Structure 1
Amino acid sequence: MNIQNRVVSFIKSEDEFGGLSNLAEGYPLLVNGGSVPSSEHLYQALKFPDHPEIQDRILKAGSPADAVKIASNKVLAGVQTALSRRVNQQKFAVTSQIKPYSKKTEATQNPALKKAHDAKIRTDWNQVKLEVMDFCLRAKLINNWVQFGELLRSTGDREIVLKALKKESYWGLFTSKDGYCRCGYNHLGRLLVNLRDELNDPDNEPLRVLAPPAHLNLMLLGTEIEPIDRSEHLRQVGTRFSAQVAEVRP
């Protein structure tokens, strides 16, 4: 079998399997009774458990990509992105209000400002970020059981790969300059494969209740994240259990 037939890959959220991306829109979450636009919004917000004011700004970001910018303190770039989107939607240009994007527009150009911002990220982030991402993906599934579940199932038993830049090799794979090596850790792809395999298990009931691991101490807007129950989620959003939901059960 050709290697391409054994791999499901994505790089943009608009790709065929782009919904697997954490940057994909259209997969909202309900956490602690509040709406979270995407799993990326949640992931970025959880970097700052002791700073609900930063979390609030992240959760209000206009897109998952903007959430990343705010979490990285690229505030001006984030504002530009949102304004550019509004301009495109309205189909007219207000170039006087938009400065061309450059490194100079990023708040991170100030080393002292960046250092102060980064100091607010939980100190053990590099040690826990993989578990936090796993939690966010599971929250994405439990809140979008049909849509996201069907997408996961559609990958069959193939490897899932995020096509990444070299700087993103922790989460995906990048192709070496000579084209002979797929380099990186592909942690996002691995987490998705594990989640898919659990979903395909005849006994996938444990996936329907998501309790945050206690040792992660996940806080959102000053409150510890509560367990997410699929049946409770359906009750809150006013959706009844249906044949459509049953279709993704083994």
Structure 2
Amino acid sequence: MNGDPRDFRRYKRFECAVFRKTTEMHGGLSNMAGGFPLLVEGIPVLSAEALYQACRFPHMPDVQKLILAQSSPMTAKMKSKPYRTDSRPDWEMVKVPIMKWCLRIKLAQNWDKFSHALLSTGSKAIVEDSSRDTYWGAREIGPDLLEGQNVLGRLLMELRQKLHSSPDDLREVAPVPICCFTLLERQIGVVGKRVYPSVRRTSETASEAVA
């Protein structure tokens, strides 16, 4: 999964489990879907998208705090944009393993809901329909035809396969084996089931975690 144009794939929409809006049938597969709270090293995180974006900046805990304080996945993503030129220097090499890790945590800590979302796709190809992003998703190039690398969709299909073959192995998530893998200056270790039943939707949660 890289930027090589030869890695582009074509998908027939009617043969796939396609998601674009979070309100659609397979919308829960999107990183922009709410209702999948996480807890990493005691730090509440409202979405997989917020966790992914925060992982860009282990060396900038104040930026991580800003991202984690946002009430929606989209605003968390937007808050990261002004700082992206300061992303960790190996970001392009580690972003896919980090995304895979975020999806694993989303499953481990929202088991019933997210496993249902994955398994409801059956054996269909999972495709994120995007108007612009042909790396994480695929864009429409003709009537009912999508083209792109669809990296997010392929990671979700890989996770679905593991859910079928070895679900017990997905209950805990090891950290990505890279340097400086921290959240709000806390070294990230093995992440398991979320301890708390819910996450308070306030801007104070991330601040309290480092108080």
User: TM-score scaled by structure 2?
Assistant: 0.83
Aligned to 1:86: none
Amino acid at match of 2:80: A
Decide which of 66, 72, 88 is 2:75's aligned counterpart: 66
Cα distance in 2 for partners of 1:173, 1:238 equals 35
1:185 maps onto 2:149 in alignment = yes
Aligned to 2:5: none
* Shift in CA distance, 163/205, structure 1 to aligned 2, threshold 3 Å: same
CA contact 2:38–2:106 (8 Å) conserved in 1: yes
1:35 maps onto 2:79 in alignment = no
Note the residue ranges of structure 2 that are not aligned, 5 or more in a row: 1-11, 199-211
Please report the RMSD computed on the Cα atoms of aligned residues, expressed in angstroms: 1.8
Q: Percent identity?
A: 37
1:6 Cα deviation after fit: 2.8
Cα distance in 2 for partners of 1:149, 1:62 equals 24
Amino acid at match of 1:170: Y
User: TM-score scaled by structure 1?
Assistant: 0.71
Rg bigger for which structure? Answer: 1
Aligned to 2:181: 218
Cα distance in 1 for partners of 2:45, 2:113 equals 17
Query: Which has the bigger relative contact order, CA under 8 A and spacing at least 6?
Result: 2
Aligned residues: 187
CA contact 2:64–2:184 (8 Å) conserved in 1: yes
Aligned to 1:237: 196
1:131 maps onto 2:97 in alignment = yes
1:149 maps onto 2:112 in alignment = no
1:216 Cα deviation after fit: 5.3
Cα distance in 2 for partners of 1:153, 1:179 equals 27
Decide which of 26, 44, 50 is 2:59's aligned counterpart: 50
Aligned to 2:88: 122
* Shift in CA distance, 188/229, structure 1 to aligned 2, threshold 3 Å: same
Aligned to 1:197: 161
Decide which of 130, 133, 136 is 1:171's aligned counterpart: 136
